[in-house]
Chains A and B, each alone.
Chain A
C-alpha cells in the first residue's frame, strides 16, 4: 500500500512542496485505516463515552475510570474514589494470521504498554479469540499458536489472563481475530496522559533497541489479507520479548513513583513516528527529534526505518530536563536502552538525520488531518423462519458438545490466571472478579462477542452482545461501570460489509446507552477480508463492573435449592447454536426493553444470601447453562414445556438456584418473568424432561461432551 493520489495532493497542498520519502511513509501509515479510523470514525459518534466516573475518555493510550469505594460493611461511600482503573483493548488480527505465536504475543505487549503509559500497573488481561471451523486443521494450528503466544507473553510479564472468549465460525477461516483487553490499576495521584506538557521538555525513548522489524505494520493492517500473506507479509509482523516488557513494567512503575514522567506514549502502530507525533500534537506542540540519537539494533538504518519500525517494548516519555539523568539511571537498573532523542517544541514536528531535515510537518495535520471516508452501506436482511424438527437428545448433545459452547479449560489452563493475588473468581465462570482491596471493591470483567448472532442480525446481535456481557457481571452481583469495544469488520469498501459494520456499531452503542455503560475507548479493525470472504461483523465488548467485596455466587449447583430461570425469552432462534447444529433459519430474538432494570434486579438476587448459584444464559441457551452447572456432587431435575426453550439464547437471563424462590419472584415482579425449572439434587446428574421425554446425563458424560477442545488438541 502506498500513499493514495488524493492524500498526496492534500499533503502537497498543506506543505507547499512534495513530501520527503520519510514524510510519505509517515503519512501513509498514520493516515491508514488502522491509525486514522477513516472509515469508522464517522460512525463512532454513536457511542456515549460520558459519565461521572470517566476520568479520561477515548483518544488516549487507554481510558481511565474512577472506581467507587465501599465501606468495610459493603456500602458505597460518597467520597470521590481515589483509585482509578485503566481500560484498553486492541486487535492483532492480521499479524496473528501470518504468525499466530508472535502476532498474538505482541498484541498482549501492546495493550499492556498502553496501560503503563497512563501510570497504571496492569492487573488483568482478557482475550477474545475467533477462528475458522474447529474441524479444520488450519484453525487448530492458529488456535494453538495464538494461545501459546498469549500464554508465553502474558505469563512471563506476570499479568493474569482472567477471562475472555473463544468462538469458531467458518468465515474466520482466512482471517482469525485476536482481541486483547487489559485492565490496569492506579491511584489518582499517579495519572499520566499522552498529552505533551511543555515546550523544552526532553523526549526520552526507553526500552528495546530499534531494528528493522514490523515495518509498515499499520498499513499492512489496513488492507485485505492476500493469499500469500503468510509468506509475503511476515516482515510486517513483530517479534515480542516479554522479558524486556516485564523490565519496562518495573521501570515504568519506578518512573511514576518518583514523578519523573510529564507525559507518555507507548510505541505501537507506526512506531516512533506515530507515538512522538501524536504525543506532541495532543498537547498542541511540535517537536525537534534527532533520529541519529535513537538506540538502534542494526547499522545503517534509514530515517524512515527508524521512524516507522514497530520494534516492540519501547516507550516514549516526556521528561523535564532536570529529571533526565534519573530516568537514565532507572532504565540502566533494568538493563533497558535509553536515549534522549529530542524535545517538545513550538511549531512543526521536525525530525533530522545526519544533520538533514527529513520530516517537517504541522503536527496536528499529520496526527488528525486524514480525511474521512464516506462509504456506501447496504442494510442487511433479516432471515426468515424455517425451524426444523429435531431429535431432542441429538440436538442436546450437538449443542452442548459444540466447540463454541464447550469448556475452554484447555485454553485458560495455559494462562497464568492467578498471579497478582487478586483473582477471586477464576476463568470458566460468567465473569472474573478481581479483588481491589484498595477500594474494598470487587471488579468483575467480561469480554466477548457472538459471531452467529451478528451474522444473523448485526444490529440486534450487537445489542445482545452488550447485554450478554453485562449479564455476566450481574450474575456475579456486579453493577456495570464502563466498557471498551473492539470493532472488527471486513473490507468497508463493500457496501454490504459496511452495512453490517454500521449495524454492530449502532447496536453496541444503543445497548450500552440503555444500560448506562459509557464506552470509554476502543479499537477498530477493518479489512479483515481475504480470498475466503469477509469475517462476520464482530463487536467484541470488554465490560467491567463493581460490587462490594469479592464474593460472588458460584456458577455451579449447590444441590439444596430450587432452580429458576429469570428473564424474558425472545421467542426466536436466529443466530443460535441450535440452528447452527441442526440447520434452519430464524429471525433474531427480541431483547427486553428494560434491560437495565432486569440486570440490576439480577445483581440484587445474585448478592442475596439465599442465592446458592447463578449462571447466565447465552451461547447454546439454558441447555448449556444447566449442563455447565452440574458437578460430581450436585445436579438438577428440570422440566420444560417445549424442547426449543432449552436452546433459546436470548441474553439478559440467568439460571438461579435459590432457597428463597418467593423472594426472587418478588424481586422480579413487574420486571421480568420467573419460571420454575425444577430443583437441584446432590447426585451429580442432570435430568431434563420435556413432555414425556426425559434425558439423563451424569457429570462425567457432560464433561465428556464439553471436553471437545482438550480431547482433540492434547
Chain B
C-alpha cells in the first residue's frame, strides 16, 4: 500500500507528511501533481503549503488542477483522502467537502498550539480517539476560519460531519478557544466516502523527538483503516 502525498507547486508540508507517515510505518511517497496518482494508491494526502502561492483564493488553483479529478474518482472508489491546512482548503475548493476556509478573524497568520475536541469518533480520521477526547495539535495558517451558510452548517451537524472543534484544555468549546473565528469552532469536517479535512497539522504532532504533542498520530493512522 502507498499513500500518495500530492505535491503542487507551493506545497510545503509534503516532505513532513511523508516523514510522519513513515514514522508510523505507513508507506508514503510524494507525487508531483502533473505525474498523476500511482496505480497502487491506497490513500491520498493533500498536504499543507501555499499551492500556486495562494495568489487567488487559498487552494482555488490546485482544486482545478487535473489530478483533482483523479482524487475525486479514487475517493468514490473508497480510497481515503485527508486534506491538511492548504490541503483542507483545496478539499473545500474542489467540492470534496462542504464550506470554505477563509481569512482568520485576526487577519494575521497564526502559528500556535490549540486544543481540539473530537466530535465524531466514527470516521477513519478519528477512530483512534473517543468522542469527547481532547487532543493538542499545532495550527499554522492565515486563512483557517471555517465558513458555511447557516443552513448547511446545521446540516453538517445533523449529518455528524464535524470531526473536531477548537476547545480549551478541558474540552469546553468557547469563543476564547476559537483561534480564528471559525463557525461553531469547527476545525475539521468530513465529506462523502473517506474524505476528511482539517486546518490543524496532525503530521506536526507525531514525532516524539520534537518534544511536543504526539496526538496527531491518530489522525494519520486513518490511512491504516483503508
Contacts and interface: CB of A to CB of B under 8 A. Distances in A.
Contacts of A413: 108-112
Chain B interface size, under 10 / 10 to 19 / 20 to 34 / 35 or more: 20 to 34
B110 A551 contact: no
B68 to A, nearest CB: 18
Contact of B9 (A246, A412, A420, A435): A246
B204 to A, nearest CB: 5
B19 interface: yes
Nearest to A151: B109
Nearest to A243: B53
B73 interface: no
B128 interface: no
Nearest to A152: B109
Given A155-B140, A156-B10, A335-B9, A243 B207 contact: no
B111 A417 contact: yes
A421 B211 CA distance: 11
Contact of B111 (A156, A246, A415, A714): A415
B12 interface: yes
Contacts of B34: 333
Interface in A379-438: 412-425, 435, 437
A419 B140 contact: yes
A416 B16 contact: no
B50 A246 contact: yes
A27 interface: no
A198 B201 CA distance: 47
A156 B50 contact: yes
A551 B211 contact: yes
Contacts of B19: 421
Contacts of B49: 156, 158, 246
Interface string B183-208: 00000000000000000010110010
B52 interface: yes
Given A155-B140, A241-B53, A424 B10 contact: no
A414 B109 contact: yes
Interface in A309-354: 333-335
B211 A425 contact: yes
Given A247-B9, A413-B111, A415-B111, A424 B209 contact: yes
B20 interface: yes
A254 to B, nearest CB: 10
A633 to B, nearest CB: 12
A418 B52 CA distance: 21
A424 B109 contact: no
A243 B140 contact: no
Contact of B16 (A421, A549, A550): A421
Interface in B1-46: 9-10, 12-13, 15-16, 19-20, 32, 34
A437 B203 CA distance: 17
Interface in B89-117: 106, 108-112
A234 B87 CA distance: 37
A68 interface: no
Nearest to B210: A424
A380 to B, nearest CB: 40
Nearest to B138: A418
Contact of A155 (B15, B52, B109, B112): B109
Contacts of A424: 209-211
Contact of B209 (A155, A420, A550): A550
A157 B9 CA distance: 10
A243 B10 contact: yes
B211 A416 contact: no
Of B16, B49, B201, B209, which is in contact with the most chain A CB atoms at under 10 Å from its CB? B209
- A-B complex: 5 closest residue pairs judged by Cβ atoms: A158-B12, A243-B53, A156-B50, A416-B140, A421-B16
Interface of A: 148, 151-152, 155-158, 241-243, 246-247, 250, 333-335, 412-425, 435, 437, 549-551, 714
25 contacts: A148-B108, A155-B50, A155-B111, A155-B142, A156-B12, A156-B49, A158-B49, A243-B9, A246-B9, A246-B49, A333-B32, A334-B9, A335-B9, A413-B109, A414-B108, A414-B110, A418-B140, A418-B201, A418-B204, A421-B15, A421-B16, A421-B19, A421-B20, A421-B204, A550-B211
Given A418-B204, A425-B211, 16 more contacts: A155-B50, A155-B142, A158-B12, A243-B52, A246-B53, A247-B9, A414-B111, A418-B138, A419-B16, A419-B140, A420-B15, A421-B16, A421-B210, A435-B209, A435-B210, A550-B211
